[in-house]
Amino acid sequence: MRKFDTVLVTGGCGFIGTNFIKYIFDKTNYKIINIDALTYAGNIKNLIDIENKDRYFFERVNICDAKKVNSIFEKYKPDCIVHFAAESHVDRSIFGPKNFIDTNIIGTFTLLEAARNLWKDNSDGKLFHHISTDEVYGSLSDTGYFYETTAYDPRSPYSASKASSDHIVKAYYHTYNLPVTISNCSNNYGPYQFPEKLIPLMISNIIEEKDLPVYGDGKNIRDWIFVEDHNNAVFDIIHNGRVGETYNIGGENEITNIDMVNILCEKLAYKMNKDKDYYKKLIKFVKDRAGHDRRYAINCDKIKKELGWQRQYDFNTAIDITIDWYLNNKEWVYDVKSGEYQKWIELNYSSK
Ligand SMILES: NC(=O)c1ccc[n+]([C@@H]2O[C@H](COP(=O)([O-])OP(=O)(O)OC[C@H]3O[C@@H](n4cnc5c(N)ncnc54)[C@H](O)[C@@H]3O)[C@@H](O)[C@H]2O)c1
């Protein structure tokens, strides 16, 4: 089992990165460095509980800025990098792909170069872990699964940029012997997810009794995993994963979008003392997303067999935890949706 002194997390103010930092901070005594550009998706207030701890450090850095990235690597000398930072929303990639190409491809390349330079004399026990998505594999019909060996077939600018970064990470392993691992995970849900993604968007719109827009016929299938299960898989990989390997992570929990929206409507109706179908009248089918992948489903036997990973949460429990988090954190939702948070960031962090 590998052990580290200093773990550098990129994108630690985003949804999964925030949850990961909280998780690894609790589970270890590692020094944790969080580098994040604080885009619209990054919220520094998520980590207020640990911001003053002496083994946590935050640096506002754009991962495409090689000079700054190199100086941060020199300053902290991390022995593990867990790379979450990305532009992550498929719809935004359709309307404006450039940021996706910059951050997801150039940003990953910049980090790989910085790691290669930092570890050039000795890379024993070091690790660069790259977080990726099942969307790189393309779309499935009604049957079949994505395996680690499935050929890449990305369809959106988002998934194409992630596929590209995965290939570059693998190339650094084969060409320069950089110690890397990669994980490709299915759709996450849980606390701190920006309310433009399906589950938090629907929860926050239900709370506000706004329309619930569902793409196309609503029959697109996603394999949903609770964010903590994703993160404990990443934790297992960085400690015990084989260098050079890819691991699929999935929730083994396929649900159509329309079923998910109905479940959320019913669960919130129960929590708000309304009739079971009260919120379903808000559902509005809208024009389908361009190139909308029909079905994703992950086979995650490899990580189970090799690393003994098993997801800890069943869907029913974890979706309740998620809904309750949004009900208890309406101010967080208001802040990020209204732009109030961005104003606060520019006032407090523009020169940092
Ligand atoms: N959300 C999912 O369901 C899911 C599923 C599988 C894989 N992933 C992958 O997990 C990772 C995290 O996803 P997420 O949902 O937490 O994303 P997110 O959009 O919530 O967070 C991304 C974070 O990266 C930061 N960031 C963006 N551009 C940056 C840049 N140029 N420099 C530095 N920081 C930058 C943002 O400020 C934000 O804090 C991504 O790599 C994504 O591809 C996500």
Residues 290 and 284: their CA atoms lie apart, in Å, by 18
Q: Is the CB of 262 under 6 A from ligand 1?
A: no
User: 86 C-alpha vs ligand 1 centroid, how far in Å?
Assistant: 4
- Pairwise CA distance, residues 238 & 240, whole Å: 6
In a domain, 260, yes or no: no
Whole-number pLDDT of residue 348: 79
Q: What is the DSSP string of 117-158?
A: HHTSS--TT-EEEEEEEGGGG--B-SS--B-TTSPP---SHH
pLDDT at 110: 98
Confirm whether 135 is a catalytic residue.
yes
Mean pLDDT of the chain: 96
Check pocket membership of 161 for ligand 1, CB cut-off 6 A.
no
Atom of ligand 1 nearest to the CA of 40: 37
Q: Please report the pLDDT score of residue 342 as a whole number.
A: 79
- Catalytic residue of the set 56, 158, 313, 326: 158
Q: Which of 44, 88, 169 to mutate to test the pocket of ligand 1 (most atoms within 8 A of CB)?
A: 88
Higher pLDDT, 20 or 91: 20
Answer yes or no: is 152 within a domain.
yes
Q: Where are the alpha helices (DSSP H) in the chain?
A: 15-27, 66-76, 90-95, 98-100, 108-118, 157-176, 198-207, 227-240, 257-271, 301-307, 315-328, 330-338, 340-349
Is residue 113 flagged as an active site residue?
A: no
Q: Which residue has the tokens 């773990």?
A: 7
Whether residue 143 is contained in a domain is answered as: yes
Question: So what's the pLDDT on residue 184?
Answer: 98
Counting Cα atoms < 13 Å in the Cβ hemisphere of 145 gives 17
User: Do the domain assignments include residue 214?
Assistant: no
Backbone angles phi, psi at 18, to 5 degrees: -60, -50
pLDDT in tens, 334-344: 998 887 877 88
Catalytic pick from 87, 135, 166, 293? 135
Catalytic residue among 36, 79, 87, 134: 134
Segment 212-236 mean pLDDT: 97
pLDDT of residue 304: 98
Confidence of residue 267 (pLDDT cuts 50, 70, 90): very high
What is the structure's pLDDT at 233?
98
Band of pLDDT at residue 350, cut at 50, 70 and 90: low
Measured in Å, residue 103 CA sits from the centre of ligand 1 at 10
Query: pLDDT at position 303, please?
Result: 98
Phi/psi for 301 (5° steps) reads -60, -35
Q: Give me the amino acid identity at 132.
A: S
Q: CB of 104 closer than 6 A to ligand 1?
A: no
Domain annotation covers residue 74: yes
Flag whether 268 is in a domain.
Answer: no
- Kindly report, residue by residue over 149-181, the tens digit of the pLDDT: 999 999 999 999 999 999 999 999 999 999 999
Assign 134 a pLDDT band (cuts: 50, 70, 90).
very high
Residue 187, ligand 1, Cβ within 6 A: yes
Query: DSSP code of 277?
Result: T
pLDDT in tens, 50-105: 999 999 999 999 999 999 999 999 999 999 999 999 999 999 999 999 999 999 99
Query: pLDDT tens for residues 309-325?
Result: 999 999 999 999 999 99
Say what the pLDDT of residue 218 is.
Answer: 96
158 assigned to active site = yes
**Whether pLDDT at 208 is above 90:** yes
**87 CA distance to ligand 1 middle (Å):** 6
**CA 110, CA 66: separation in Å to the nearest integer?**
6
- Which ligand 1 atom minimizes the distance to the CA of 194? 20
- Give the CATH number for residue 180: 3.40.50.720
> Hey, which residues does 131 pair with through a beta bridge?
183
Is 243 a domain residue? yes
Which atom from ligand 1 is nearest to the alpha carbon of 42?
A: 39
What is the atom index within ligand 1 of the atom nearest the CA of 135? 6
What local confidence, expressed as pLDDT, does residue 343 receive?
A: 82
Give residue 240's domain range. Answer: 6-192+225-253+296-313
Q: Residue of the nearest CA to atom 12 in ligand 1?
A: 84
The span from the CA of 213 to the CA of 202, in Å, is 8
Tell me how long the chain is. 352
pLDDT value of position 345: 78
> How many domains does the chain contain in total?
1
In sequence order, the 6+-apart residues with CB closer than 8 A to the CB of 259 are none
